[in-house]
Amino acid sequence: MIDLLGGVRVLAVSQFGAGPFGTLHLADLGADVIKIENRATGGDVARTVPPYAIQGDSLYFQSFNRNKRSLTLDLKHPDGQRVLHDLVHVSDAVFSNLRGDQPKKLGLTYEQLQEINPRVVCCSLTGFGLTGPLSGEPAYDYLLQAYAGWMSLTGDPSTPPAKSGLSLVDFSAGAVAMVGLLAGLLHVRRDGRGCDVDVSLLDTAISMLNYVAIWTLNRDYRPQRLPDSAHPSLYPAQVFRTSDGYVVICCFKEKFWRALTVALDAPELAWDPRFASFTTRYEHRDALIADLKQRFLARTTAAWLKRLRGNVPCAPVNSVSEALADAQVLARDMIMELEHPEFGTLREVRTAIKVGGAANHRRPAPALGADTEAILREVLGYSDQEISDLRQAGVV
Closest CA to 188 of 84, 91, 106, 85: 91
Residues catalogued as catalytic: 170
What DSSP element (H or E) covers 199? Answer: strand 195-200
Write down how long the chain is.
396
- pLDDT tops 80 at residue 1: no
Alpha-carbon separation of residue 132 from 96, 145, 169, 204 (angstroms) = 18, 19, 20, 15
Range name among 102-111, 134-143, 355-364 with the lowest pLDDT average:
355-364
What does the pLDDT look like over 149-186, one tens digit per residue?
Answer: 999 999 999 999 999 999 999 999 999 999 999 999 99
Q: How confident is the model at residue 147 (pLDDT cuts 50, 70, 90)?
A: very high
* Residues 6 or more apart whose Cβ sits within 8 Å of residue 205: 144, 145, 147, 148, 150, 169, 172, 173
Q: How many CB atoms lie within 10 A of CB 316?
A: 17
- What would the mean pLDDT of 239-255 be, rounded to a whole number? 98
What does the pLDDT look like over 181-209, one tens digit per residue?
Answer: 999 999 999 999 999 999 999 999 999 99
Q: How confident is the model at residue 359 (pLDDT cuts 50, 70, 90)?
A: confident
pLDDT, position 238: 98
What does the pLDDT look like over 44-58, one tens digit per residue?
Answer: 999 999 999 999 999
351 vs 333: CA distance, rounded Å: 11
- pLDDT tops 80 at residue 226: yes
- What would the mean pLDDT of 247-255 be, rounded to a whole number? 97
Alpha-carbon separation of residue 64 from 8, 13, 67 (angstroms) = 19, 14, 9
**What percentage of the chain has pLDDT greater than the value 90?**
97
- pLDDT tops 90 at residue 307: yes
pLDDT, position 46: 97
- pLDDT tops 80 at residue 332: yes
Phi, psi of 157 (to 5 degrees): -65, -15
What does the pLDDT look like over 80-99, one tens digit per residue?
Answer: 999 999 999 999 999 999 99
Q: How confident is the model at residue 306 (pLDDT cuts 50, 70, 90)?
A: very high
377 vs 383: CA distance, rounded Å: 7
Q: How confident is the model at residue 393 (pLDDT cuts 50, 70, 90)?
A: very high
Q: Which domains can be identified in the chain, with CATH numbers?
A: 9-207+336-392 (3.40.50.10540), 227-317 (3.30.1540.10)
The average confidence (pLDDT) of the chain is 96
Phi, psi of 246 (to 5 degrees): -140, 150
